[in-house]
Amino acid sequence: MPVHPFLLLSNQLVFNLGFYMVVPFLAAYLRDDLLLAGASIGLVLGLRTFCQQGLFVFGGALSDLLGTRRLILLGCVVRVLGYLCLGLGGSLGMVVLGACLTGVGGALFSPAISTLVAQLGAASEARGKRTRAQYFALLAVWGESGAVLGPLLGALLIGIGFQAIALIGAAVFVVAGLILARFLPQDAPAPSPTPRGLDWGTIFTDRLFLAFVTAHAAFLFSYNQLYLALPVEISRTGGSDHDLAPMFMIASLLVITLQLPIARLARAMGYHRSLPLGFALMALGFAAVALSAPQEAAPGLMRLAPAVTLVVLLTLGHCIVRPIGMDLVPHFAQGRALGVYYGALASSGGIAVLVGNVALGGLLDRALVPGVDAALPWFVLAAVPAASALAMLLILQRLSRRVDAPQPA
């Protein structure tokens, strides 16, 4: 029995609710409660992201081997354990363990969900209905609905402490796991865990795909700065934890209202133009903060203008890049195990976040106080998606020459 679209979409909403009520406040907890420096905070957040995105390729392989249902349910269990570590522990070691386990949980269930959505979209497109890219856009919209409620709920609960919020987040994933266990269809037995003879060498010898995932890694690294760099900018302007929730709500509302029309517009523009544009918008977001960082914060709510500009431009870039990148992966896979290919795409981003956060975490300390040095980390951040925008122009030109590649509209 095929999976029902509503189950996948509503599941994404609940997963993001449980995620965004906890993780956006982790950096502030590490800085204010555990008194960690910027480099250490970057390492912890980078490890969390690497354990999720960086291990996607293994989660994808396990999904192809063991089945999507098993991996989704196992991922829920592991994420619950991670949140319990965050909620019950008070030491740096427990926080690192909890952060890593929450990431591993996502590495298990997310590639499986992407595989189910890709299969659902392909079947729908074959019937002349919604395309695969539109289903991934819908997944983003439902997910961002949860991302609107998550930070809002977290901000309302911030008075009870981060650890108590983490325990509530664990309860959310317990409930989600029980519902999925009841309604997810059983996995169909696969004739082979590696259809069409897929092996790891297939991915790692495809130079065009390697170039694509390397350039695409700037997407996750850049968007992840909402958790690492955004709190630094808010701190520079005299803000507090309570200013974070509205920022994430702005991002989520933009995705909810604009994701589907932007996805349609991107398809009309042609992927070879819209994908580089998405990366360019992200670069402009960082550049906008770099121009304001040396100056003293403006009075009143205007002090948040650079942060809002960053959030808006990163989110618009996200709305363009995410569905296009996900839609292009099957053209590289060419009928082989999708889970591994989606895993490789996410793993490259996870590695970029880990390396980038460790490298830039200390540099971001300069941006805490207005001054000439405060602009440097933001210009470095802007250079990353700008380089990917240029790289994608060349990569998509070559991809368009492949027989089964999507043609520009």
- Treating both helix axes as pointing N-terminal to C-terminal, what angle do 5-20 and 132-157 enclose, rounded to 10 degrees? 30
Q: For residue 37, tell me if it sits in a domain.
A: yes
- DSSP states of 206-268: -HHHHHHHHHHHHHHHHHTHHHHHHHHHHHHTT--GGGHHHHHHHHHHHHHHHHHHHHHHHHH
User: Other C-beta atoms within 10 Å of 309: how many?
Assistant: 18
Q: Which two tokens stand for residue 38?
A: 């910027």
Residue 74: its pLDDT value, please? 94
pLDDT of residue 357: 82
Q: Residue 41, by phi and psi: left (phi above 0), alpha (psi -120 to 50) or beta?
A: alpha
Tell me how many helices (H) and strands (E) the chain has: 16, 0
Maximum alpha-carbon separation in the chain:
65
Contact between residue 133 and residue 263 where contact means Cβ atoms under 8 Å apart: yes
Residue 51 per-residue DSSP state: I
What pLDDT, on the 0 to 100 scale, is given for residue 23? 80
Q: What is the pLDDT of residue 97?
A: 92
Predicted confidence at residue 253, as pLDDT, reads 83
Give domain status of residue 305, yes or no.
yes
Domain span at residue 122 reads 5-186+199-399
Rounded Cα distance, 113 and 68, in Å: 7
Contacts within 8 Å (CB) and 24+ apart, 399-406: 399/208, 399/212, 399/328, 399/331, 400/272, 402/331, 404/331, 404/334, 405/331, 406/271, 406/327, 406/328, 406/331
> What is the number of other CB atoms lying within 10 angstroms of the CB of residue 59?
30
Residue 407 in domain: no
Q: Which two tokens stand for residue 103?
A: 């990431």
Find tokens 């942060």 and name the residue. 307
**Residue among 293, 61, 375, 326 nearest 219 (CA):** 326
Q: With helix as H, strand as E and coil as C, how does 76-105 read?
A: HHHHHHHHHHHHHCCCHHHHHHHHHHHHHH
Q: Is residue 128 part of a domain?
A: yes
Which residues are within 8 A (CB) of 130 and not within 5 positions of it... i.e. 6 or more apart?
Answer: 121, 124, 138
Cβ–Cβ < 8 Å for 115, 338: yes
Amino acid identity for residue 179 in this structure:
I
Tokens standing for 39?
Answer: 């480099």
pLDDT of residue 196: 44
> What CATH number does the domain containing 210 carry?
1.20.1250.20
pLDDT of residue 305: 92
CB atoms within 10 A of CB 268: 11
Per-residue DSSP letter, 299: S
At residue 405, the 3 state secondary structure works out as: coil
Q: Is 223 helix (H, G, I), strand (E, B) or coil?
A: helix
Residue with tokens 């991809």: 399
Does residue 34 belong to any structural domain of this protein?
Answer: yes
* 107 belongs to a structural domain: yes
Residue 47 belongs to a domain: yes
Q: Give residue 189's Cα distance to chain centre.
A: 30
Residue 406 lies in a domain: no
How many domains does the chain fold into? 1
- Residue 185 region by backbone torsions, left for phi larger than 0, else alpha for psi between -120 and 50, else beta: beta
Mean pLDDT for back-to-back runs of 10 residues, the chain (409 residues) = 78 86 81 77 81 76 81 93 89 88 89 82 81 80 82 81 90 91 74 47 76 93 90 84 80 84 86 93 96 85 90 94 85 69 80 84 85 91 96 88 49
User: What is the pTM (predicted TM-score) of this model?
Assistant: 0.73
Identify the CA nearest to 280 among candidates 317, 229, 239. Answer: 317
